[in-house]
Amino acid sequence: MNGVACPCGSGRVLEACCGRFHAGAAVPDAESLMRSRYSAYVLGLEDYLLATWHPDTRPAALGLDATPRPQWLGLAVKTHTPQDETHATVEFIARYKLNGRAFRLHETSRFERVGGRWLYVDGEIRE
Ligand SMILES: [Zn+2]
């Protein structure tokens, strides 16, 4: 088998990494969810992004088709900090290009496990 490399940068093929979560497999922890959501941004999987967003903070739509579309260049997960059984934070840096300019998104995201499923709650942008 010769699959596509997963966009999250794990070094594994997409089907063996984030792709199985996009296909509905249970996500084991907040870092895996964060990675699969980054990959979903790269792949334009708006349904997956909305489905893994906490209902309290979920937007109605993401408008991923709006132009100009960012070109995602890579993800680096800095820390994954479980707080308790149902809460965790993940600090990451995602790089992208927009209109030919390079940007760097450094964020600490909060995740909550609701009914056994990890969900993205919100994030704090860091410098
Ligand atoms: Zn992945």
The pLDDT tens digits for 74-85 are: 999 999 999 999
Query: What value does the mean pLDDT take over residues 85-105?
Result: 96
Q: What is the pLDDT of residue 3?
A: 86
Distance CA 75, CA 90 (A): 12
Considering the entire predicted model, what is its pTM? 0.95
- The rounded Cα 25 to chain-centroid distance in angstroms is 15
Cα–ligand 1 centroid distance for 15 (angstroms): 8
Question: At residue 17, does pLDDT exceed 60?
Answer: yes
Cα–ligand 1 centroid distance for 37 (angstroms): 9
Cα–ligand 1 centroid distance for 11 (angstroms): 8
The pLDDT tens digits for 39-60 are: 999 999 999 999 999 999 999 9
Q: What is the pLDDT of residue 109?
A: 98
Question: At residue 2, does pLDDT exceed 80?
Answer: no
Summary mean pLDDT of the chain: 95
DSSP string computed for 22-65? HTTPPP-SHHHHHHHHHHHHHHT-HHHHHHTB-TTT--S---TT
Cα–ligand 1 centroid distance for 107 (angstroms): 18
Distance CA 33, CA 44 (A): 16
